[in-house]
Every structure is written in C-alpha cells, then in structure tokens.
Chain A
Amino acid sequence: MKNREVLLEVKNLKVEFGKGKSKFTAIDDVSFEIYKGETFGLVGESGSGKTTIGRAIMRLNEVTDGQILFHGKPINGKISKDWEREIIQKIQMIFQDPMASLNERAKVDYIISEGLINTKKYKNEKEREEKVRKALLAVGLLPEFASRFPHEFSGGQRQRIGIARSLVMEPEFIIADEPISALDVSIRAQVLNLLSSLQESNNLTYLFIAHDLSIVRFITDRTAVIYKGNIVELAETEKLFNNPLHPYTRALLSAVPEPNPFKERAKVVEIYDPSQHDYDRNPPSFVEVEEGHFVLANEEETARYREKISLGVS
C-alpha cells in the first residue's frame, strides 16, 4: 500500500471565491493523494466543495493556496507551455449533465475530435476520422453517429459521447464529476460499467465525484468524505462504509435510502450536529487512526475513535 505510485497529490489546497467582505472559502486546507490505477471517490453534499476540487485540478478554478502535483510536478499556478500541453492531454474531465456539456451546434465528429485538433495528435484527416470511429465504438456507439448532432441522442448516449471525447485524448487521469447522477436509472449501470471497463483496458485513474453513496461504494477503491470544504474522513471504501467514524459520515450513510422496503423502514437516520464538536477549545487535525484511515478529529475524539477500532477488530 505504502509503495504504490502516487499519480496526483493535493497538498493543503485552499480555494477562495470573491474578495473582501464577500470572500468565501470553498476549500480549506485539503490534502489527499490519488494512486495510479485506483478510483478515488470524493463524496459530499451540495456546497461541500467537491466540484471545486475537481475544477481546481482541471485549472478551471484558481487556487488561493497550496499545491496540486501530477506525477510529482506542480500543475497549478504558472507552469511551462509544454507541461500545460501535456496535462491537457493527460487529465480529462467527464461532466455531470450530458444535456449541458455538449456543444449543440457542432457535429459529434467535431465534439469528439476537438481535443485532437488542439493537440494535433494525428497525421491526416483519415487518421483523425479513424480515431473518432474507434472512440465511438469504445463507448458502445455506432460509428455513423459521427455525422449527427447531439440533440438527436438520449442522455445516456450523450454522456457516452462525452466519455469518447475524453478517451480520444488517451488520458491517464479522468475526473468524473457526478457522471451518472443526471442520467435515467435504466442507463446508469451502462455508464458505470463502461467507466470500469475503460479503466481496465486503458489503465486509467479516476477521481469520482458524487453525492450518491451507493454508487461510490460500488465503484471506488478509496473514498474521502467532504463537508463544508474540509475532508472529514478518508479510508478504503469498504472500511469507510463498514466502520464510519466521523459523525458526519455516519449521518450521510444512514440517510441514503436503501432500495429494500424492509430494511429501509427499520433503519434509524442519524442527524449530524456540528456543534457536538468542541473545536473552539480543542481544534481538530487530520489524523490517521488506523492504517490508511484518516479522520478529522481533535485529541479527545481521536482517542475515542481508536478505542472503537480496537474493539471492532478484536
């Protein structure tokens, strides 16, 4: 575990919006690492800052403080043109709403090859068309769709066009920002399966941003729970779901509706009350309570969590 290659590292990231009085801290001192080949989940509710983190990595949001390292080299702030071109190709993003994320007035052919045109990653027209064809087939669409406009497709097909557009760049790292929450229930599984099979065949690493914990549990290897700009808990997914420590994680887990009438009705929903922490007197830090399991807690809470783990294990 310790000797796995770190692909992306976020160090003490801070993102603020606005100036002066209206200043708002969206992300406050967030750090995490993403290993090569894994799927890292980032879970939180609206306004938690999960999308801001994704966009900061994509260089769409400016970073106020801290560092983002890709292959150990910084990608935020001023960077060289060559390195920028490289990360544009290596880091790709899949957007939430397939209805909003495709250019309605361009043909699928242009939408998919947009990145190729920018990076000039082909020798001639024929090669470009071949790449588009392959990308369409890879996401389960028909090659003749290239000459159509996005409005002719359903949500699931459009999302797959969005995936093809990222895929054609041959990326290493993909940020998937709620990639299936805007889709119909009957096609979510298609897209999830597609993401997993592409991960295997193309050796991809994912940052999977979501609010739906059932999907996160299914697809991610490690998960971070984010609350109001802070990561409150980070662990291997199964560990986090089986043994949630932070009260917010517990509340979030208990709130997810279980698609089973008997279980759902027997369930007790926990409610998170931030005032339960005594953080004014005893400020928290991000501590590792067991191997690979980090929690935002102060000393007193840490002791309690550690005790809980030792009881659970024995």
Chain B
Amino acid sequence: MGELQTKERVLSIQNLIIKFKLRGQVLTAIRDISLDLYKGECLAIVGESGSGKSVLVKSIMGLLDKNGYIDQGQILYQNMDLAQFTTEKDWLKIRGKEIAMVTQDPMTSLNPLKTIGKQIEECVVLHQGLKGKSAYEETLKLLRDVGIHDVEKRYKQYPHEFSGGMRQRIVIAIAIACNPKILICDEPTTALDVTIQAQILQLLTNLQKKYGLTTIFITHDLGVVAKVADCIAVMYAGDIIEVGKTEEVFFDGKHPYTWALISSLPQLGTKGDQLYSIKGTPPNLFKEVKGDAFAPRNQFALEIDFVERPPFFKVSETHYARTWLLDPRAPKVELPKALQAFFEEGRRLANEK
C-alpha cells in the first residue's frame, strides 16, 4: 500500500472517451476509461480484438485513424494534456522521444532501403545528440544490448537479411535509441514463433530493468502477460473491467470476464471433457452498450447488469473491478471447479514465495 504511494505517476488517463465515425454512424471505441501508469512498471492491457486496446495506445501516441477522435477526457503526461494535441508538430515532441512503440509486424517499422545500422544511428543522432564516432559506438552498443552478435557486420545489412525475430530486435533497438520514458509494445510477439517469442519477451524484461523503462504491453495471450506484467488492465468492449497487480488479477480475479478468460485456457481443462467456454461473440460497438457489455455472454449476469454500468469496486489498494457481483447486495457465486483449483494453486505458490 505504501509502496504504491511512493511510486511516481508517469501517465494518467482520465475519463477518456474515443469515438469513430464510420459509414455515417458513430462508434464508441473507448467508453470512459481511467488508467494510471507508474514509473518503472510494466502494465499489460489484455483484451481480444475489438476491445479497444490498440485504439487506446494509438491515442496516447497521436496515431488515431483520421476518422477517430477524442470525445472527452484527458491524457496527462508531464503537465501536458495529450488529448488536447491537434497538430503533428505537438505530437513530434512526444512520439519517439518520450513514448516509443514496438508493433506487431517489424517490417512495417523498418525502411527496407536503409541499412539497419543507419536506421538506429539516425535515432541516436536525433534523440541523444551524439555525432560521428560516438553515435556509431552507441549504435553498436544498442545492437549488442538487443542480443545481436557480430554487430559490425550486422550494422551494414538491410532489413530483408534478417529473420522475423531479429527484425523485431532491431525495432526494439530503434525504440530504445530514442531514449523514451515509456515503451509501448503492441502485440510484439504475435507474429513470431514460440521459441523466438520466448527470447524476445526475455529481452524486453531485461531491457526494462536495464533502462528503467515504463512499459505498456498489449496482448491477448495470458501466457505472455504472466511473463512480463507487473499490473494488468483487462479490457472488454472499450472498457477496462478489471485492473490490478498481476497476481491479483490471475489468482483473485473478480470480474466474470476475467474468470471466463482464465477458465477457458486449455491448461485448465481436463482432457476428454469439455473446456469451459464463453458463449456468443464480442459485441458490435455500433450498438449502444447498456449496462455491462459482457452481460449477454455472462453466465453470472445479474438483472442490474443489463440496466446500469457497474462502477469500479475496490478489492484492494491496487485492485479494482467493474462488476455488480462485488456489490454487498449481490448473491454469492459458485466458481467453476477448475478455476477454484487454479486460484488455490496461485495462493499456494504465493505463500511458498
């Protein structure tokens, strides 16, 4: 509890609403979200496609599609409200320099016509103010830092001469070269093979420690979250429905959607039996969401879930969940067996630690 208060808040999103104009209709992609990011922590935003997790980080980088706009709310960073930024010139002060991003497909972030060394060096020159030999040395150091061997030779090679995993390392090197305060990783390993994914995740965790980075990690893979995250924000249909420390969300989750996500993991299933599954499909954001967006698919849905959007209920100093089940008037819920066992195991492992 005290630990939290001493932490420095780096980025604060307050009551953010983002809308998109699409085919003459207005779609609400982010529905009144508030979120804090503290220095040095790794926040994982978990959600499926269409949950708005990518839109959220794009708005932080000023990269919203041209038909999207911030309807309401603030994005506070260093006494600035990024939500008020309108011109590219404003954003260039932030992008790269303060907040850098690593995307899913490394090829889109690299210039195929320039050697990777030059591309990294450009950032070093621009953002670290180094020149000539010292910029070159810094570039080689960055390449070594992201786990590339034979750096002098690699410096002169073009992106197509690298494998997917290596390219992602180079993109990470470019992001770090800008010396950012916040690093956003948007599904950085989704396109990679599992063995490569494991290496990249390890690399990102090491770099985070080494450079004291604050990281936002976007993913749908709970395994990846378990590896990298200090805190988790679970998103569903444009809303954060649960936020807390990694262990809290994993082993003491409160929102039925969080339960459902964990229960439907094949690791929790028993072979030959049916796996726990969430019925239906994610909602269409064109329709106005009333109450809790997850209610139609929620086996524990209460009548009130269809009427009124639940507020954040406080579970602990760091853990909040947006579900009426936490209301004192709500009935008790019997969790699925497999989930109970999973929570049990988590508590046991926490004690052993």
B226 touches A193 (CB 8 A): no
**Chain A: interface residue count, which band?**
35 or more
Residues in A217-269 with C-beta less than 8 Å from chain B: 217-219, 251-252, 254-265, 269
Cα–Cα, bound, A251→B349 (Å): 25
B278 touches A218 (CB 8 A): no
- In the complex, how many residues of chain B place their beta carbon closer than 8 angstroms to a beta carbon of chain A? 48
A45 touches B193 (CB 8 A): yes
Q: Does B20 contact A (CB under 8 A)?
A: no
Of A21-29, A179-187, A284-292, A296-304, the stretch lying at the interface with chain B is: A179-187
Q: Does B266 contact A (CB under 8 A)?
A: yes
Q: Does B223 contact A (CB under 8 A)?
A: yes
Residues in A whose Cβ lies below 8 Å from that of B262: 259
Residues in A185-231 with C-beta less than 8 Å from chain B: 185-190, 192-193, 196-197, 211-215, 217-219
B260 touches A186 (CB 8 A): yes
Min CB distance, B125 to chain A, in Å? 35
A258 touches B267 (CB 8 A): yes
Residues in A whose Cβ lies below 8 Å from that of B161: none
Asked whether A265 and B279 contact (CB < 8 A) given A211-B194, A255-B197, A257-B201, the answer is no
Query: Is chain B's interface secondary structure helix, strand, loop, or mixed overall?
Result: helix
A265 touches B227 (CB 8 A): yes
Residues in A259-284 with C-beta less than 8 Å from chain B: 259-265, 269, 271-272
How many residue pairs link A and B with beta carbons under 8 A? The number is 128
A211 touches B193 (CB 8 A): yes
Query: Is chain A's interface secondary structure helix, strand, loop, or mixed overall?
Result: helix
A193 touches B275 (CB 8 A): yes
Q: Nearest B residue to A260 by beta-carbon distance?
A: B226
B265 touches A186 (CB 8 A): no
Contact flags A111-141 to B (C-beta < 8 A → 1, else 0): 0000000000000000000000000000000
B194 touches A213 (CB 8 A): yes
Min CB distance, B2 to chain A, in Å? 22
Apart from the given pairs A255-B195, A260-B250, A260-B345, 20 other A-B contacts in the complex at a CB distance below 8 Å: A45-B193, A155-B49, A184-B48, A184-B49, A189-B266, A192-B266, A193-B275, A214-B223, A214-B267, A215-B266, A218-B267, A218-B271, A219-B266, A257-B201, A258-B267, A259-B225, A260-B226, A261-B246, A264-B226, A271-B195
Residues of A in contact with B (beta carbons under 8 Å apart): 45-46, 154-157, 184-190, 192-193, 196-197, 211-215, 217-219, 251-252, 254-265, 269, 271-272
